[in-house]
Chain A
Amino acid sequence: MKSTDSTAPQASPASVAGPSRRRFLTATGAVGLGGLLAACGVGGGSDKGAAGSGKGSIRALFMKQAGYSEDNIHAMTASFQKAHPGIKVTADFVSYEALHDKIVAAAPAGTYDVVLIDVIWPAEFGSKHIVSDVTAKWPASWKQKMLPGAVATSQYDDKQYGVPWILDTKYLFLNTAHLKKAGVPQGQLETWDGVMKAARALKRAGVTKYPLVWSWQQAEALICDYAQLLGAFGGTFLDGSGKPAFNQGGGVQALGFMRQSIVDGLTNPTSTQSLEEDVRRVFSAGQASMALNWTYMYGLADDPKQSQVAGHVAVRQTPQGTSGRPGVNGSMALAVAAGSKQQAAAWTYISYLTSQPVQDKFALSSLPVWKTSYDDPEVVKTNPAVVPQAKKQLGDMILRPQVTSYNAVSQALQAEIQNALLGKKSPQKALDDAASKASSLLGS
């Protein structure tokens, strides 16, 4: 039993001469809270980076899917360190879905010196000083030597916030054995209309239950597929004044096309829960005859160790819609983190990874950003199936909106596109709702 007698001699020793426990806690609490309030600035840490000595240790953040593999990056880094013994690089890898948020969360502490950024982030990261403006470091010749789609990757407001490194778009992958079985000529796949006819023929012939598989999970992957179709049907994300325009014309047609392919049983219903890697697995297991995916899928789907369809994989330029055949610009760039204290060393590392010889060497995983690489027989030899298609495709790419609030706009669009794909709303209604949300986010 606890004594409640305050006069009892066995009261706490501290109560006799020292501070009471309550007083102690009150005092410490007050001092602590005061200190906390004083220390509580809003926003995070300092964004003041420094050039550094150009030597020392740097940390880089990459993604572990699509584009260059972890092994590729480790190999590039090892050869970089051999050439620059004064710089030690530690490479971290996260999934694409975690990449943006990891960059944001790590920015105040200046954890990373080099970060891989997607084509949709320069507006946000540049305007918020999360990555450094490197316009002054760009040699004038780069803009001419790089493909235009690549230059746009790290550009916002006429400034460069990195160096393009992964130049990618989505191609149409085919299982040639399936097409042969169903008697579908590859030439028929020049248009989306032709693709749908081929899918019907494949289904009719019982070759695949669902001939098409897509990455339509509620994620950025869905917007990439939608962008490619929106471009093919002549739509645009925003109009000339920056207001949402995807709820008109081609934007609605593209979504109608997507929904219809589900209704007709041509698209695998797992598509609404799939990311690019799920698409690769289904295609590599021979459970789909056609799929849209990034360049990296070719190397893996045609590898007998990882795929059941190796030797039967072909890749084509994205099909034509009613108004063109642009590929979605899915490129990525390497940027110097604004909080880095080793910006000079970071730039040396970026310059090495993005250099033409290094990119040419690893062209099987990701095609180079440099124009002349596509005529280099050594590069063509690394990826003979994809390079000829890339030469046609990479000159015609559609960009997703370059706005600072892109993520929020994209989330609104993803949710509404899924509402239409699941048949909960008509494509027009879903896109109208998304446009209304996007308008308020864009302040238009």
Chain B
Amino acid sequence: MSTGTTLGRLRRRRRRPSSGPASEARFALTLLLPAAVVVFGVVLYPVVRTFVVSLYDVNSPMAGAYPFVGLHNYVRVFSDSGFYPVLGHTLYFTLLSTFLELSLGIAVALLLNAPLKARWLWRSIVVLPWALPTIVNGALWRWIYNGQYGALNGLLDTLGISHTPHQWLGSPFLALNMVILADVWKNTSIVVFFILAGLQTIPDDVYEAARIDGAGAWRGFWRITLPLLAPSIAVVLILRTIEAFKVFDIIYVMTGGGPASGTQTIAFYTYLQAFSNQLFGYGAALAYLIVIAVFALAMVYLRILRQGRMAGVQ
């Protein structure tokens, strides 16, 4: 209706070339300009500049004539013995945290979609961890895990499960897992909300028809809920994988990359190289590799999502 009216007006204007298109193009340009400035300034400028910096041996934040090294910084990443352990930690962090967040997120969303009493209250509570800034979340869990006065040891002691204080952040592998748990606690909320939104689009008649056909709850979940949730799962999977791959702040606050560098991830390592060691060229190359990896992941997921949609249409 309103679209039809607008189109009609546009057609009429096109028939009067003297006053229309040129001024409309100018008007469009004016409207696009602020957005273009923001996109160039905030997205494209850093992207291009980081790439340019990665081709030079920049070792200071100040302006200067730095030697051009071409792709040497990229080659150096792969011969850096410090890079492979952090890559391993990053992949482990990404896979485990995404898997846990997704599994728990689906479970909690199913629960919150059920006709519970005071459902609004439970939904509000679930959003709380996500609403906390990551820095606060990290500080909170650092205290909970503290081996001397932490709440986790206190809880285990009170419940009679263990009376020996554990050093939750005391050894590299355990610390990495404990950081993952802290991350899962915070980010499961966002998964819950995506899935919950997806669940609300599934009409009850589908389940009713399945029930009439003799399908139980378990079968209904596998055959109806999960396939219909696929687009929501794909979206949340993309978001969480990319975020987990770039994880930095929770590690900075909780462990500082330790113990024995056991919780250093690629983003943390990049930060150390660029800002602590002032190897900006090398840091820029590492940052670019992160961008490429994240871009590749996003492309794979989007492809899967697209194929899923097409399959759904067919």
Contact A18 B25 (CB under 8 A): yes
Closest to A285 in B: B149
Q: Please measure, in the bound complex, the distance between the C-alpha atom of A353 and the C-alpha atom of B13, giving whole angstroms.
A: 71
Contact A218 B61 (CB under 8 A): no
Contact B258 A217 (CB under 8 A): yes
- Residues of A contacting B45 in the complex (Cβ-Cβ under 8 angstroms): 36, 39
A412 to chain B: closest CB distance in Å?
A: 9
- Residues of A contacting B53 in the complex (Cβ-Cβ under 8 angstroms): 40, 42
B103 contacts the other chain (CB 8 A): no
Q: Please measure, in the bound complex, the distance between the C-alpha atom of A418 and the C-alpha atom of B263, giving whole angstroms.
A: 13
A358 contacts the other chain (CB 8 A): no
- Residues of A contacting B148 in the complex (Cβ-Cβ under 8 angstroms): 268, 270, 282, 287
Q: Please measure, in the bound complex, the distance between the C-alpha atom of A404 and the C-alpha atom of B116, giving whole angstroms.
A: 63
Q: Please measure, in the bound complex, the distance between the C-alpha atom of A10 and the C-alpha atom of B32, giving whole angstroms.
A: 22
B149 to chain A: closest CB distance in Å?
A: 7
B227 contacts the other chain (CB 8 A): no
Q: Which stretch (A122-130, A233-241, A291-299, A371-379) binds chain B? A: A122-130
Contact B49 A40 (CB under 8 A): yes
Contact B275 A105 (CB under 8 A): yes
Mask of B257-277 contacts with A, CB within 8 angstroms, 1/0: 111110000000001100111
Mask of B60-73 contacts with A, CB within 8 angstroms, 1/0: 11111010000000
Q: Please measure, in the bound complex, the distance between the C-alpha atom of A13 and the C-alpha atom of B20, giving whole angstroms.
A: 9
B225 contacts the other chain (CB 8 A): no
Q: Please measure, in the bound complex, the distance between the C-alpha atom of A98 and the C-alpha atom of B29, giving whole angstroms.
A: 43
Mask of B15-40 contacts with A, CB within 8 angstroms, 1/0: 00100111011001100100010001
Contact B62 A415 (CB under 8 A): no
Contact B48 A33 (CB under 8 A): yes
- Residues of B contacting A405 in the complex (Cβ-Cβ under 8 angstroms): 277
Question: A10-B11, A13-B20, A46-B63 in contact; A218/B258 too (CB < 8 A)?
Answer: yes
A104 contacts the other chain (CB 8 A): yes
Contact B62 A40 (CB under 8 A): no
Question: A13-B13, A46-B63, A407-B276 in contact; A32/B259 too (CB < 8 A)?
Answer: no
Contact B259 A13 (CB under 8 A): no
B10 contacts the other chain (CB 8 A): yes
Mask of B220-262 contacts with A, CB within 8 angstroms, 1/0: 0000000000000000000000000000000000011111110
- Residues of A contacting B129 in the complex (Cβ-Cβ under 8 angstroms): none
A443 contacts the other chain (CB 8 A): no
Q: Which stretch (B165-173, B196-204, B306-314) binds chain A? A: B165-173
Question: A16-B14, A32-B44, A270-B167 in contact; A419/B63 too (CB < 8 A)?
Answer: no
Question: A10-B7, A100-B276 in contact; A272/B62 too (CB < 8 A)?
Answer: no
Question: A17-B22, A405-B277, A424-B260 in contact; A43/B63 too (CB < 8 A)?
Answer: yes
B177 contacts the other chain (CB 8 A): no
Contact A14 B28 (CB under 8 A): yes
Question: A18-B25, A217-B256, A270-B167 in contact; A107/B277 too (CB < 8 A)?
Answer: no
- Residues of B contacting A268 in the complex (Cβ-Cβ under 8 angstroms): 148
Q: Please measure, in the bound complex, the distance between the C-alpha atom of A277 and the C-alpha atom of B257, giving whole angstroms.
A: 18
**Number of chain A residues whose Cβ lies closer than 8 Å to a Cβ of chain B:** 60
B199 to chain A: closest CB distance in Å?
A: 29
Contact B147 A269 (CB under 8 A): yes
Question: A40-B52, A287-B148 in contact; A273/B167 too (CB < 8 A)?
Answer: yes
B58 contacts the other chain (CB 8 A): yes
Closest to A410 in B: B276
B56 contacts the other chain (CB 8 A): yes
Mask of A106-120 contacts with B, CB within 8 angstroms, 1/0: 011000000000000
Q: Please measure, in the bound complex, the distance between the C-alpha atom of A75 and the C-alpha atom of B179, giving whole angstroms.
A: 40
Closest to A9 in B: B11
Contacting B at CB under 8 A, from A372-407, are 405, 407
- Residues of B contacting A9 in the complex (Cβ-Cβ under 8 angstroms): 11
Contact A130 B52 (CB under 8 A): no
Contact A44 B52 (CB under 8 A): no
Partner of A130, one of B29, B48, B60, B167: B60
B92 to chain A: closest CB distance in Å?
A: 18
Question: A18-B22, A36-B40 in contact; A273/B258 too (CB < 8 A)?
Answer: yes
Extra pairs beyond A42-B56, A42-B66 (9, CB < 8 Å): A14-B28, A43-B62, A128-B278, A217-B256, A219-B258, A273-B167, A273-B169, A415-B261, A418-B259
Nearest 8 pairs between A and B by C-beta? A218-B258, A18-B25, A17-B21, A128-B60, A418-B260, A47-B62, A101-B275, A44-B61
Which A positions have Cβ atoms within 8 angstroms of B? 9-10, 13-14, 16-19, 24, 28, 32-33, 35-37, 39-47, 97, 100-101, 104-105, 107-108, 124, 128-130, 217-219, 268-270, 272-273, 278, 281-282, 285, 287, 338-339, 405, 407-408, 411, 414-415, 418-419, 422, 424
Which B positions have Cβ atoms within 8 angstroms of A? 7, 10-11, 13-14, 17, 20-22, 24-25, 28-29, 32, 36, 40, 44-45, 48-49, 52-53, 56, 58-64, 66, 146-149, 167, 169-172, 255-261, 271-272, 275-281
